[in-house]
Amino acid sequence: MKHYDFIIVGNGMVGNKFIDYAIKYRHKEEVGKQSKALSFLVLSEESKLAYDRVQLSSYFSNKSAQDLSLASEEEYRKNNIDFVTNCKVLSIHRDDKLISTQCGQQFTYHKLILATGSFPFIPAIKGSKGESIHVYRTLDDLDAIKQSACAASTGVVIGGGLLGLEAANALNNLNLKTTVVEFAPRLMPVQLDKNGSKLLKQKIESLGLSVLLEKNTKEIISGEQSRYRLNFTDGSHLETDMIIFSAGIRPQDKLAASSGLATGERGGIMIDSYCLTSDKSIYAIGECASWQGSTFGLVAPGYQMAKVAFTHAINTLKENIGKTKSSQEEPLEFCGSDMSTKLKLLGVDVASIGDAHGQTENCLCYCFSDETDGIYKKLVISADAKHLIGAVLVGCTKDYGQWLQLYLNQIELPASPERLLFPEFDESSETNASGVHSLPDNAQICSCNDVTKKQIHGCIQSGVHELSVIKQETNAGTGCGGCTQLIGQILTCELEKIGVAVNNHICEHFDYSRQELFDIVKTTRIKTFAQLISDYGHGNGCELCKPVIASILASLWNEPILDKPHLGLQDTNDAFLANMQKDGTYSVVPRIPGGEITPDKLIVIGQVAKDFGLYTKITGGQRIDLFGAQLHELPQIWKRLIDAGFETGHAYGKALRTVKSCVGSTWCRFGVQDSTGMAIYLEQRYRGVRSPHKIKMAVSGCARECAEAQSKDFGVIATEKGWNLYVGGNGGMRPRHADLFATDLNDKTLIQYIDRIMVFYIRTAERLQRTSVWLESLEGGLDYLKEVVIKDKLQLNAEMEDQMKHLVNSYQCEWKNTLQDTKKLKRFNHFINSRAPDPEVVFVDERGQKRPADEKEKAAIKNAATSHLLTTA
Amino acid sequence: MQSQWQEICELDDIYPHSGVCAEVNGRQVAIFRLSENSELRSIENFDPIAKANILSRGIIGERNGKPVVFSPLYKHPYCLDTGVCLEDEGVSVPVYSVKTLEEKILIRVK
Ligand code: SRM
Ligand SMILES: Cc1cc2nc3c(=O)[nH]c(=O)nc-3n(C[C@H](O)[C@H](O)[C@H](O)COP(=O)(O)OP(=O)(O)OC[C@H]3O[C@@H](n4cnc5c(N)ncnc54)[C@H](O)[C@@H]3O)c2cc1C
Ligand code: SF4
Ligand code: FES
């Protein structure tokens, strides 16, 4: 029988979080000490490993099971986490520390972790079991609902709580006429007060859903027009084709209870502050656990429990093997959790904080209700008017982050707390008192991942000034995402303090932002860096301002970047018109517009690669990269390529990279436009245009989107009537789907729009800002961009088009230009005073091509050479 | 003999604000021209962090008014006056004497 240090029962969100901690811990431990690896076994009743249950509903809209997955079999295997799916644990024999599963296996454990979650409660109503009657908890449930919906035109959700409304939304999206049936006199009775619920109900009804309140279902029988009929206790009834029960959840504590573990009065496995159950070898975490009589139906408290339990278990293990206290992890305790929530239900923003119903004795309430715009806000304040104890927001949850922090940290409120209801009218400094800098250091900013303000501070102070990196480093904002805005505010606030954001100067040599410099260069028509820095800057310039100004000069005047006044401004790759590789050699990437290439040209590339012994690879951008060229070989290689009709591909530049295409209507049976032709046209039009960061485009010939246009800065997708234009897509580190900018454009308008957007981006973006980030930080966002580009709000369109025309007309291939100038070519030698190549560049063979030798190989080759010399001598 | 000034190339062979690599007594030496005139610096060409002969091809910047070169591969800044890597003070590269004489660049490598 196999023994494990840890067995985890249940692989829901919380069970998986426990494994995350284990994997992280192992990486940390095993690098240092080589201690014997701990063994883990995961047993899951579901067929899939952990997935994001919180986002479950998006399975109906845009996410696949793959998108939702939180763990992969590969990841588990790689980290030596054993697992069995489709395998329910039936019993625990605590005396032998042994468990038995449904599949007949038995395992023994040192520590057992119960993470069995909850199950949907189905009230004891006659007829509540049957075909097309569902619950809403797992991916399998959703598959079954989808199936039933195919044969249904009406649907009922029993339960008007949080989950019930999500389920109703799903049915509505599946085009069923949907009714929500709630027993209580209002929707979301747990979170919202009467007025908040009323507003929510109005909003939901305006979307075409029906809401029935105060209806108690007595029985479900066969219907006359539809499959079922619900009879209510008040004598009324309702017919429907399918039913989803969403009448609350109950902790899954059966397994624990049957093995004699203590359970709470209202269900749930009893745990202490270390998440230990009544058996000191067994922990319970997540929705199945009951702490001080309460269970927690949200993911954040579950995640906290996972961390607490893991830390405690590891520390006990270490204690057992006699490790000193100092080598232990910081001990943690679970101390309850806040149940405040913010959600978007059926497109309506809803949030509640603390005592939303104002049940605390002598509390004071302030309300604001705007029926035209459908906004309702309520503040519940302590009797002494000093602290926030609860709140409700419907229709607009902008204030949630701020209020939640006031509540969680019990920050003293300004003298007239009602002003919190109208922050936009309140210019006084008092609202600032509720701003992020008034938050105490230990304020928890991200509740999903338990990250404090202090940790975020620390990260910023260590030099990280980008939101995306802060998220990566601290984990904050990577759960529900609800805290992202707040993290952004902390960042701005901190940067202001250290003087970074207050000025957006590009560096110490220019007291201007990139955009301001762009305008200066444009209006003064300055053509060189030397002129600009002497008129508008100070000092000699640096690695930050030089490339920025090189880019601005090129975007405006388009002079060859290796001309004498510009050369010293270029970053390494631009300076040699090639991408430097790890060993100091270069890659060569000829342009292959739209990815279309003739056999003859393919042969040229092959022949050149052969003659110069280059490693060749097809890139992710539909072209061919030749690696391992030495500095002195670049001009010779390019001479051959240019003679054969190739041009530089700008793989080294912050400029247009590739325009990816699919074959489109020319060959493909589905294509509706000539996508390849359009891609080639675009690539040839915009090649060489320098921009704040690289630009990628793609054109697909139909909605199947084989060219992946929606992941590009500019994406074009063919329609029956023309082209749809998308902007702001990004792959890379932080992928972003592009936004739909305009539909069914003809060729001319498409080009016009791209011209304008591109020039506007070049003018207004920060240095090294891709269009995705630019669009997100553009005040007014996509709508504003549309106004500028489509409606000519700034009256700039004619000018922007002229600028693009100039760039298109002044294009020349940088390599061709360079090859014509012997002075420029002189730099393309490893040594200025000798023809020899770099003697330390060494290659070895792999899969029939060369690659750079690593340190060991280099040493071995050197040794062999010297011993060879010795023997021949 | 070894610590004599040796002629390398013309001043004009180096574009202002850029660098070149020269072979001097079997060593690879990076020479930078910091301005339109003859303000020069020289350090070893080998970047001990990236482990490649590339420093001459880095962009020239400034830290606290001192000239630095940013290694092309991992962007480590090396001070051109002292050869010290400003991000890892434990790492440094040798610095060499360089000057011009009648528009020719001379270098002395000990
Ligand atoms: C060669 C190639 C990989 C390959 O073997 O396929 C490649 C190689 C490099 N990529 Fe890439 N990327 C290549 C396609 C991509 C793609 C796919 C695509 O374009 O469809 C992406 C994701 C799409 C996107 O950019 O949105 C991609 C996202 C990145 C990123 C992340 C950008 C971001 O916004 O997060 C970087 C880093 C950066 O630019 O700061 C990067 C940077 C690099 C650099 C320049 C890293 C470096 O500084 O050395 C690599 C050098 C290229 C060289 O030496 O020639 N590469 N890179 C691909 C060249 C395509 C081409 O023909 O030009
Ligand atoms: C539609 C929906 C929307 C939600 N929205 C939010 C939200 O916006 N915010 C929020 O904080 N929370 C939300 N939640 C709640 C959140 O999903 C849960 O709090 C969280 O998933 C709990 O994790 P868990 O690991 O404790 O339980 P679960 O995720 O339920 O995992 C328990 C797992 O254990 C398995 N299991 C049970 N018994 C056994 C056994 N004997 N043997 C083997 N395996 C067993 C189960 O099959 C299950 O896979 C939502 C839930 C749903 C269904
Ligand atoms: S899209 Fe797809 S199948 Fe086709 S022509 Fe383009 S995309 Fe075809
Ligand atoms: S609070 Fe959910 S991600 Fe931070």
Is A777 in a helix, a strand, or coil? Answer: helix
Enclosing H/E stretch for A275: none
Residue in A with minimal Cα distance to B8:
A833
- Phi and psi at residue A162, to the nearest 5°: -50, -55
Tokens (6 digits) for B21: 């690599």
* Residue whose CA lies nearest to ligand 4 atom number 1: A446
CA B35 → CA A227, A369, B103, distances in Å? 86, 67, 14
Alpha carbons A487 and A496: distance in angstroms, whole number: 14
A130 touches chain B (CB under 8 A): no
Is A264 in a helix, a strand, or coil? Answer: coil
Average pLDDT over residues B38-58: 95
Give how far the C-alpha of residue A122 lies from the chain's centroid of Cα atoms, to the nearest Å.
Answer: 36
Strand pairing report for A2-9 and A40-43: parallel
Contact B23, A831 (CB under 8 A): yes
Is B61 in a helix, a strand, or coil? Answer: strand
Alpha carbons A156 and A144: distance in angstroms, whole number: 15
Nearest-neighbour CA in chain B from A647: distance (Å): 24
Same fold, A122-247 and A435-502: no
A670 C-alpha to center of ligand 1: Å? 30
Enclosing H/E stretch for B40: strand B40-44
Alpha carbons A683 and A695: distance in angstroms, whole number: 11
Q: How many CB atoms lie within 10 A of CB A827?
A: 21
Average pLDDT, chain A: 90
Return contacts of A199-205, CB within 8 angstroms, 24+ apart: A199/A369, A199/A371, A199/A374, A199/A375, A199/A376, A199/A394, A199/A395, A200/A345, A200/A348, A200/A350, A200/A394, A202/A374, A203/A346, A203/A348, A203/A374, A203/A394, A203/A395, A204/A165, A204/A168, A204/A180, A204/A345, A204/A346, A204/A348
Tokens (6 digits) for A797: 């369109």
A388 C-alpha to center of ligand 4: Å? 21
Give how far the C-alpha of residue A292 lies from the chain's centroid of Cα atoms, to the nearest Å.
Answer: 36
DSSP for residue B101: E
Binning pLDDT at 50, 70 and 90, where does residue A855 land?
A: confident
Nearest ligand 4 atom to alpha carbon A481: 3
Q: What is the reported pLDDT for A821?
A: 93
A856 touches chain B (CB under 8 A): no
Binning pLDDT at 50, 70 and 90, where does residue A61 land?
A: confident
pLDDT tens figures, A593-634: 999 999 999 999 999 999 999 999 999 999 999 999 999 999
Mutational pocket test of ligand 2: of A53, A254, A334, the residue with most ligand atoms within 8 Å of the beta carbon: A53
pLDDT tens figures, A72-123: 999 999 889 999 999 999 999 999 999 999 989 999 999 999 999 999 999 9
The pLDDT > 70 percentage for chain B reads 97
Alpha carbons A422 and A448: distance in angstroms, whole number: 28
Alpha carbons A697 and A674: distance in angstroms, whole number: 16
Alpha carbons A112 and A99: distance in angstroms, whole number: 9
Is A45 a pocket residue for ligand 2 (Cβ < 6 Å)?
yes
- Phi and psi at residue A393, to the nearest 5°: -135, 130
Q: Which residue has the higher pLDDT, A172 or A696?
A: A696
Report, at the CATH architecture level, how domain A2-119+251-320 is classified.
3-Layer(bba) Sandwich (3.50)
- Phi and psi at residue A2, to the nearest 5°: -80, 140
Q: What is the reported pLDDT for A702?
A: 95
**Could you tell me which residues come within 8 angstroms of residue B75 by beta carbon, excluding any fewer than 6 positions away?**
none
Instruction: Identify all chain A residues contacting B62, using CB atoms and an 8 Å cutoff.
Output: 509, 539-542
Which amino acid, one-letter code, is at B46?
F
Q: How many CB atoms lie within 10 A of CB A69?
A: 18
pLDDT higher than threshold 60 for residue A873 = no
Nearest-neighbour CA in chain A from B90: distance (Å): 20
Is A599 in a helix, a strand, or coil? Answer: helix
Instruction: Identify all chain A residues contacting B51, using CB atoms and an 8 Å cutoff.
Output: 855
Contact A434, A420 (CB under 8 A): yes
Q: Which residue has the higher pLDDT, A30 or A63?
A: A63
Q: Which residue from A201, A193, A501 is spatially nearest to A353, judged by alpha carbons?
A: A193
The pLDDT > 70 percentage for chain A reads 95
Nearest CB neighbour to A576, from listed B20, B52, B57: B57
Tokens (6 digits) for A247: 């009448």
Alpha carbons A820 and A825: distance in angstroms, whole number: 9
- Nearest-Å Rg of the Cα atoms of chain A is 32
Residue in A with minimal Cα distance to B74:
A582
pLDDT tens figures, A775-802: 988 888 899 999 999 999 889 999 999 9
Nearest CB neighbour to B18, from listed A539, A567, A834: A567
Which amino acid, one-letter code, is at B52?
A
Fold of A654-808: Sulfite Reductase Hemoprotein; domain 1 (3.30.413)
Is B27 in a helix, a strand, or coil? Answer: strand
Query: What are the beta bridge partners of residue A344?
Result: A349
Contact A2, A110 (CB under 8 A): no
pLDDT higher than threshold 70 for residue A394 = yes
- Within the 577-606 window of chain A, which residues sit less than 8 Å (CB to CB) from chain B? 580, 582-584
Closest ligand, as measured to the CA of A674: 3
Q: Which residue from A426, A424, A436 is spatially nearest to A488, judged by alpha carbons?
A: A436
Provide the residue ranges of all domains of chain A, joining segments of one domain with +: 2-119+251-320, 122-247, 435-502, 514-570, 578-589+596-648+816-823+834-873, 654-808
Average pLDDT over residues A418-439: 58
pLDDT tens figures, A549-561: 999 999 999 999 9
Superfamily of domain A122-247 in the CATH hierarchy: FAD/NAD(P)-binding domain (3.50.50.60)
Q: Which residue from A230, A2, A38 is spatially nearest to A123, judged by alpha carbons?
A: A230
Contact A510, A537 (CB under 8 A): yes
Q: How many CB atoms lie within 10 A of CB A27?
A: 10
As for the ipTM of the complex, it is 0.72
Alpha carbons A491 and A419: distance in angstroms, whole number: 25
3-state helix, strand, coil in chain B (%, to 5): 5, 50, 45
Q: What is the reported pLDDT for A703?
A: 93
Q: Which residue has the higher pLDDT, A549 or A523?
A: A549
Q: How many CB atoms lie within 10 A of CB A762?
A: 23
Is A55 a pocket residue for ligand 4 (Cβ < 6 Å)?
no
Q: How many CB atoms lie within 10 A of CB A674?
A: 18
Instruction: Identify all chain B residues contacting A571, using CB atoms and an 8 Å cutoff.
Output: 59
Average pLDDT over residues A44-58: 91
Alpha carbons A115 and A44: distance in angstroms, whole number: 10
Alpha carbons A212 and A157: distance in angstroms, whole number: 10
Strand A133-135's sheet: what is its strand order?
Answer: A133-135, A242-245, A154-158, A177-181, A210-212
Tokens (6 digits) for A543: 């690695």
**What is the CATH code of the structural domain delimited by A435-502?**
1.10.10.1100
